[in-house]
C-alpha cells in the first residue's frame, strides 16, 4: 500500500513547476496539484505532469450536491489522476456519488480521500460558527468513520491524528498527512508538525510536503532526505 512522499506543488503556473522539476533529474516524485495551480493552468497541467511520469494527487476538495460531484469526479478520473479529495461535510450520499463518478469503465479509480475539518478551523469556530457541539477530535473521527462507511480510501489529517484514526478505522484506511518537517526546518505557518520518521511511526501512509522541499536550496537533496526518513521507517 502506497507509502510515499508527495510534494505540494504550490506554484503559480506551469513554468514555475517545470523549472522546479528540472532539479529532479530522472526522478519522478509524486506531486500534489492544488487549487492555485489548477485554476491557473486548467487540466493541461495534470496532463503535462502525468505525461512526464509523475503520480498526481489533485487537491480540489470537492463539496456540492451528489449529482454535480459525481459528474465532476468523472471528468477528473478521465485525466488519469492517482488521488483526489472532497469534504466529508458533503455527507455520505455525496461521497458515494463521488466514488461512482470516479470509477472508470475498467472498474479502476483514483484513491479518494476526505477532508474532515480544515486545520484552519479551530474548536471555537467549530462550536460558534458551524454549530457543531462535539469536540474537534470527536468530529474528525466521526467524519472519518462516515468516509469509511461511504467506501472512501482514507482521510487527510495531521500526523498526530494518524494513530487514533487507524485504531478506530483499521490499518488499511489511509492517512495522508501534511504538517511534516525535518528538525532543522522552519515550521512556517504549520502549528502542529512531526518529522517524517515520527509520522511514519504514527502510521501516516503518505506525507505531503511543500515548502521544506520547494523552497529548499537543493530541492532534490531535501526530497531524498524526506524519502529516506519516511520510507526507511516504513520497513521497521
Ligand atoms: O509547505 P507545506 O509543507 O506547509 O505544505 C503543505 C501542503 O499541504 C499545502 O499544499 C497545504 O495547502 C496542504 N494542507 C495542509 N494542511 C491541511 C490540508 C492541506 O497544510 N490540513
pLDDT digits (tens, 9 = 90+) for 152-164: 999 999 898 999 9
How far apart, in whole angstroms, are the C-alpha atoms of residue 206 and residue 202? 12
Q: Which domains does the chain have, with CATH numbers?
A: 4-235 (3.20.20.70)
pLDDT, tens only, 25-61: 999 999 999 999 999 999 999 999 999 999 999 999 9
* Averaged pLDDT for residues 99-120: 96
CA of 49 to the centre of ligand 1 (A): 20
* Averaged pLDDT for residues 201-210: 96
Cell of 65: 450536491
pLDDT band at 71 (very low <50, low <70, confident <90, very high): very high
pLDDT recorded at residue 1 = 62
Q: Which residues are catalytically annotated?
A: 61
pLDDT recorded at residue 44 = 98
Atom 16 in ligand 1: residue holding the nearest Cα: 178
Residues flanking ligand 1, CB < 6 Å: 8, 10, 34, 119, 156, 178-179, 188, 190, 208-212
Mean pLDDT for all residues in the chain: 95
Examine the pLDDT at 199 and tell me if it is beyond 80.
yes
Query: Model-level pTM greater than 0.85?
Result: yes
Atom 18 in ligand 1: residue holding the nearest Cα: 178
Index of the ligand 1 atom closest to the CA of residue 188: 4
Index of the ligand 1 atom closest to the CA of residue 180: 3
Amino acid at each position: 500500500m502506497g507509502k510515499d512522499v508527495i510534494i505540494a506543488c504550490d506554484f503559480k503556473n506551469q513554468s514555475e513547476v517545470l523549472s522546479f522539476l528540472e532539479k529532479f533529474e530522472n526522478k519522478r516524485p509524486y506531486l500534489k496539484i492544488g487549487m492555485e495551480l489548477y485554476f491557473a493552468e486548467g487540466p493541461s497541467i495534470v496532463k503535462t505532469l502525468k505525461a512526464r511520469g509523475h503520480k498526481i494527487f489533485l487537491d480540489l476538495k470537492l463539496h456540492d450536491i451528489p449529482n454535480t460531484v459525481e459528474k465532476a469526479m468523472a471528468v477528473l478520473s478521465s485525466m488519469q489522476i492517482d488521488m483526489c479529495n472532497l469534504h466529508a461535510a458533503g455527507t455520505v450520499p455525496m461521497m458515494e456519488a463521488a466514488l461512482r463518478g470516479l470509477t472508470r469503465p475498467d472498474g479502476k479509480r483514483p484513491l479518494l480521500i476526505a477532508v474532515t475539518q480544515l486545520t484552519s478551523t479551530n474548536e471555537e469556530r467549530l462550536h460558534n460558527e458551524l454549530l457543531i457541539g462535539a469536540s474537534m477530535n470527536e468530529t474528525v473521527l466521526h467524519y472519518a468513520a462516515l468516509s469509511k462507511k461511504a467506501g472512501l480510501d482514507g482521510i487527510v489529517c495531521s500526523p498526530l491524528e494518524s494513530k487514533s484514526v487507524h485504531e478506530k478505522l483499521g490499518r488499511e484506511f489511509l492517512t495522508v498527512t501534511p504538517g511534516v518537517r525535518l528538525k532543522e526546518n522552519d515550521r512556517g505557518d504549520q502549528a502542529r508538525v512531526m518529522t517524517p520518521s515520527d509520522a511514519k511511526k504514527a502510521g501516516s501512509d503518505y506525507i505531503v510536503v511543500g515548502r521544506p522541499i520547494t523552497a529548499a536550496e537543493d530541492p532534490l537533496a531535501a526530497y531524498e532526505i524526506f524519502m529516506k526518513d519516511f520510507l526507511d521507517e516504513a520497513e521497521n
